[in-house]
Amino acid sequence: MKRPEVKAKLSGDNNWRRRPSHAARAAEYAKEQSIARTGAGNPRWGGGRIVARHGYIKKSIGGSKYDFEHRCVMEEHLGRPLREDEIIHHINRDRQDNRIENLQIVNRSEHVAYHNREYAKRGGNRRAKR
């Protein structure tokens, strides 16, 4: 006996089973995303770096988190996390030059002094600007 209705239902059901389920697709997507994230963490990968405000480079530290590259470079150099009061000064004033030779740890007042000295060198006067 032919029971087309049931057959159609069964084949439909089979098709549904053969297609990747929503969950499987989501898992695959998540896997791709995590590969992308791993790529961003790979130093040889060109991406994962953005130019932040004031011209500083920020680099991806996983997911959508970014941290200042010059601070990361110094932390790696020191082998410890930087304290909040430790400021990384770019010796040649190029904020995108994050070579360790160009980075110097200063405290807040030293940093202000460095930059004030520069203003003075240029013959400028900060107060005059206001």
Our finding on whether 37 is near Zn ion (CB under 5 A) is: no
Amino acid identity, position 60:
S
d(CA 92, CA 95) in angstroms, rounded, equals 8
Our finding on whether 89 is near Zn ion (CB under 5 A) is: yes
Name which of 40 and 88 has its Cβ closer to Zn ion.
88
Name which of 40 and 87 has its Cβ closer to Zn ion.
87
Our finding on whether 105 is near Zn ion (CB under 5 A) is: no
Structure tokens at 69: 């590259």
- Contact by Cβ (8 Å): 40, 47: yes
- Contact by Cβ (8 Å): 55, 95: yes
CB of 90 to Zn ion, least distance (A): 6
Binding site for Zn ion (CB under 5 A): 89
